[in-house]
Chain A
Amino acid sequence: FSPPLLPRKRIKVDAERKKTFVLKMPMELTQSRIQKIWLPNDNRPALPRRSCGPQLANSPTVIVMVGLPARGKTYISKKLTRYLNWIGVPTKVFNVGEYRREAVKHYSSYDFFRPDNEEAMKVRKQCAMAALRDVKLYLTEEAGQIAVFDATNTTRERRGMILNFAKENGFKVFFIESVCNDPTVVATNVMEVKLSSPDYRDCNSTDAMEDFMKRINCYQASYQPLDPDDYDRELSLIKVIDVGRRFLVNRVQDHIQSRIVYYLMNIHVQPRTIYLCRHGESEFNLMGKIGGDSGLSNRGKKFALALNKFVEEQNLKDLKVWTSQLKRTIQTAEALQLPYEQWKALNEIDAGVCEEMTYEEIREQHPEEFALRDQDKYYYRYPSGESYQDLVQRLEPVIMELERQENVLVICHQAVMRCLLAYFLDKSADEMPYLKCPLHTVLKLTPVAYGCRVESISLNIEAVNTHRDRPEEAKKGPNPLMRRNSVTPLASPEPTKKPRINSFEEHVAVSSALPGCVPQEVPTQMPGQ
């Protein structure tokens, strides 16, 4: 026990053991106005900042993907990054293929990847180095916590180079290898994400497929899989075999690696659909009151019946239905005449002392709280209640189980639905509290390529509007990179080297406001790399 040196301390010398330790007056604490976190009044620079949540990671970590082309490395990279950002760990993907496309403006053929193509080998190595330089920048100067280095990394030599790089910079390294020899899986991957790649913009599908298969071949001879039994015994790694049938895990070093392993072991690639909606309009909704545990209004009951019809029309195999433990979601589920599971974790955000008040009443009786909430809606915690940040923490097991499941309908609440939606659509903490989740509208989410397609379906039953836009005068939220504490969902940062299809970026900008609009299908993530 060696206490840190502090200013203004009273030092007592222990006569028997000649050890000095510090006896302080228990400090005065003040509760931060927005987050309601108790902090000591002084600002001791010497003491490491006490965090407000479990420490998720200390040294930055480089996650190194390993595997032949079309084994799902980019899929895993993007999905994992989205998850880590959502739980508040700043994470970014560095895709070497994108660096290569920047460097070599036009892709001609698989010849580029032939092992005897010395010119190309030089370029490819340069791209890897450039990506690593950006990794270093992100982790040391941009407050990044985890960098996902997405490339084939199929040789020991290349991995050795990365390990040295990490050692020089004090980064931890965790390898994720995807091994798959099932030709059907590989072919499906090629069709899903390769044929539409910028590399094959000017090719037809057959030619593209043929070229890509030859590209894979170029790597095969020199491929040295990770060998945790012997050569790679000391490395921290997970080998994902046959799309998750089997895993080999070696030397998990810390909490975040343990969470990553758990996440990877729960995700799957089976096609399925997730439906998100709120309970039908409630009595309190009609009165403009927030929170509480009221039942459905007449219109809310109509919605429940309409939802029943909608679900039937979807003709799904094995739909699981989840609700919260509040009456209004359960009443809604009852109309479906299907078994459903009640999750307390899906309960609406607890508004503490403001429960069952209208916004006018809050503004009157708690004017300061009212203003603070608009200032920083993500971090703002109601007195004796919760914040969106708290919600994310309690919803994490729901997300994990959603990943395990197949077809699921989640009947929940406005703030809860925004949190879940932000996970699926990769929205930042800043945007999350303003996502549009109107009553009587179902969001249908389907995984596609590297992301999630969202369809907004209004069931055409009138309801009050409970959405409040971000006020114009409100101070803009904090810089997403500034970590106030460990749970701060960030949208996965733009890849450093942007894909060259610019028209898709406009679609992305529009889609962030999409839920709540007229039903349409818009890819919210860009396919291809």
Chain B
Amino acid sequence: SPARELTQNPLQKTWEPYDNGLPAGHSAQRGVCMTNCPTLIVMVGLPARGKTYISKKLTRYLNWIGVPTKEFNVGQYRRDLVKKYKSFEFFLPDNEEGLKIRKQCALAALNDVRQYLSEENGHVAVFDATNTTRERRETICKFGEENGYKTFFVESVCVDPEVIAANIVQVKLGSPDYVDCSNDEATEDFMKRIECYKNSYETLDETLDKDLSYIKIMDVGRSYLVNRVMDHIQSRIVYYLMNIHVTPRSIYLCRHGESELNLKGRIGGDPGLSVRGKEFAKSLAQFINEQNIKDLKVWTSQMKRTIQTAEALGVPYEQWKVLNEIDAGVCEEMTYEEIQENYPLEFALRDQDKYRYRYPKGESYEDLVQRLEPVIMELERQENVLVICHQAVMRCLLAYFLDKPAEQLPYLKCPLHTVLKLTPVAYG
């Protein structure tokens, strides 16, 4: 039978098969990773062990790399149902009314999970609750099986009282549950809340749970136990969880100083800094000096303008090719007017879907995200870092840290000669 015709999608420049003028068959575009069945990630652990922190961070990462992910926090469902939180007594194991409500909330959340994964094209759902009993986890596994989801457990185990106390200060005292309490009252109540769970806590067990897929995180990442990773996405999740940390640090993002081509309104190329760009480089050196940062790492792209900027700092820096600006292909070194004149269709298409639009023989924002993923991974591993990069690149990195969706990413404001200082706080 004759081979199907290939046509190039005008927006993304990808080749797709057509049969009699209609899009045919299944030629999959590999994004960063492919998932076939939806995956249900189930958090496990006592309160104040970082489950919600991990849920939110993991969800942010997966969405950024292009895997539609959503978290479902059962505590939130409980707050919506039980308008006013009174005290830890709600969580006592013999409080039947409480237990009923809590089970109801879990089921409501699972129902929303099903809707998201089976009807709303979600790929991954993160079920954020204590899930500390084997019975509860079996219910969830059954739910996963019935619906054709793969289930992956993420357990956080921590006995260090200092860590737990710090978590409570960071995220519990500000919880809606404790809006009318003093810090001391809140802390005392929360500690009793944790106690309510302890007796019935059944940690993931080497023997009893040997057929489950899971990662057990111990002592905020000192060690990990990984069991039966089933597929690519689980492998990526494990790798990510093993690279993140909670040590306080700051990430500085900025663009190179103004370049000669910036001055002429031309995009791309590999120009050097303008006079004002050099001034910026010097100011940046002064700014960095004043910040008094411990062990700052400096990263640049392999384009002249970021390297020149870094040179002014007088410290070692690393050049990453993957931090190079988006490749504008045939439009390199043109002004936007020239592009509009010479490539009016391309110009219009870009405004139509700026995230997915790929320049002819160039790249799209979507391509950028894929090539920046190792940078994000290494940023997670590092502590204080200054990244001197480019407009489109900086937008991608910023979107990761600020959890901005694809539609907003290409429009994030990243002006020249401005440093963005990012510091992790609470859940964001």
Contact = CB atoms under 8 A, between A and B. Distances in A.
Interface of A: 1, 3-4, 6, 19, 21-24, 26-27, 29, 31, 36-38, 40, 47-48, 50-55, 228, 245-252, 255, 258, 261-262, 265-266, 293, 295, 301, 304, 322, 325-327, 330-331, 333-335, 337, 339-345, 355, 384, 390, 393-394, 401, 404
Among A37, A54, A342, the one with the most B-chain Cβ atoms within 10 Å of its Cβ is A54
A249 B242 contact: yes
A251 B223 contact: yes
Contacts of A38: 302-304, 307-308, 319
A29 B29 contact: no
A512 to B, nearest CB: 29
B6 interface: yes
B242 A261 contact: yes
B293 interface: yes
Given A23-B285, A246-B226, A40 B311 contact: yes
A342 B29 contact: yes
Nearest to B225: A248
Nearest to B26: A339
A404 B232 contact: yes
18 contacts: A1-B291, A21-B285, A21-B286, A26-B309, A31-B304, A37-B302, A38-B304, A40-B311, A52-B318, A245-B227, A247-B225, A262-B235, A327-B6, A334-B3, A340-B28, A341-B28, A393-B321, A394-B371
A51 B311 contact: no
B27 interface: yes
A251 B222 CA distance: 5
A36 B227 CA distance: 45
Contact of A50 (B273, B316, B332): B316
Contacts of B296: 1
B407 interface: no
A307 to B, nearest CB: 12
A325 B14 contact: yes
Given A29-B272, A384-B270, 4 more contacts: A249-B224, A250-B223, A251-B223, A255-B381
Q: Which 9 A-B pairs have the closest CB atoms?
A: A250-B223, A247-B226, A249-B224, A341-B30, A48-B316, A334-B3, A38-B307, A341-B28, A27-B311
B276 interface: no
Contact of A325 (B15, B227, B319): B15
Contacts of A401: 232
A207 B226 CA distance: 38
Nearest to A291: B361
B30 to A, nearest CB: 5
Contacts of B316: 47-48, 50
A29 B282 CA distance: 16
Contact of A262 (B1, B222, B239, B314): B239
B30 A343 contact: yes
B56 interface: no
A55 B318 contact: yes
A465 to B, nearest CB: 25
A318 B229 CA distance: 20
A122 B255 CA distance: 62
Contacts of A342: 14-15, 27-30
A265 B232 contact: no
Contacts of A249: 223-226, 242
A26 B28 contact: no
Nearest to A55: B318
B292 interface: yes
B370 interface: yes
Nearest to A31: B304
Given A26-B311, A334-B3, A265 B235 contact: yes
A340 B319 contact: no
B243 interface: yes
Contacts of A250: 222-224
**Interface size range of chain B in the complex:** 35 or more
Contacts of B293: 1
A54 B374 contact: yes
B272 A334 contact: no
Contacts of A52: 302, 318-319, 321
A26 B281 contact: yes
Nearest to B28: A341
A31 B308 CA distance: 12
B95 interface: no
A249 B242 CA distance: 9
A56 to B, nearest CB: 10
Contacts of A21: 285-286, 289, 314
A330 B304 contact: no
Contacts of B29: 325, 341-342
A36 B222 CA distance: 41
Contacts of A37: 302, 319
Interface of B: 1, 3-4, 6, 8, 14-15, 17, 25-30, 34, 222-229, 232, 235, 238-239, 242-243, 270, 272-273, 278, 281-282, 285-286, 288-289, 291-293, 296, 302-304, 307-309, 311-312, 314-322, 332, 361, 367, 370-371, 374, 378, 381
A23 B279 CA distance: 11
B307 A29 contact: yes
A334 B30 contact: no
Contacts of A325: 14-15, 29
A249 B243 CA distance: 12
A53 B374 CA distance: 11
A339 B36 CA distance: 13
Nearest to A330: B15
A339 B34 CA distance: 13
Contact of A246 (B1, B228, B319): B228
A245 B296 CA distance: 39
B321 A53 contact: yes
Contacts of B309: 26
A113 B225 CA distance: 33
A54 B361 CA distance: 27
Given A24-B314, A27-B311, A334-B4, A246 B321 contact: no
B308 A26 contact: yes
A53 B370 contact: no
A252 B380 CA distance: 14
B242 A340 contact: no
Among B15, B270, B316, B371, the one with the most A-chain Cβ atoms within 10 Å of its Cβ is B15
Contacts of A334: 3-4, 6, 17, 27
A22 B311 CA distance: 12
A54 B320 contact: yes
Among A4, A249, A340, A401, the one with the most B-chain Cβ atoms within 10 Å of its Cβ is A249
Given A50-B318, A258-B381, A335-B3, A26 B242 contact: no
Contact of B235 (A24, A26, A29, A404): A404
Nearest to B294: A1
Contacts of B26: 339
B262 to A, nearest CB: 16
A341 B32 CA distance: 12
Contacts of B272: 29
A24 B303 CA distance: 20
A237 to B, nearest CB: 9
A438 to B, nearest CB: 23
Contacts of B270: 384
A347 to B, nearest CB: 10
A427 to B, nearest CB: 23
A325 B367 CA distance: 12
Contact of B318 (A51, A258, A330): A51
A213 B34 CA distance: 43
Contacts of A27: 308, 311
Nearest to B216: A248
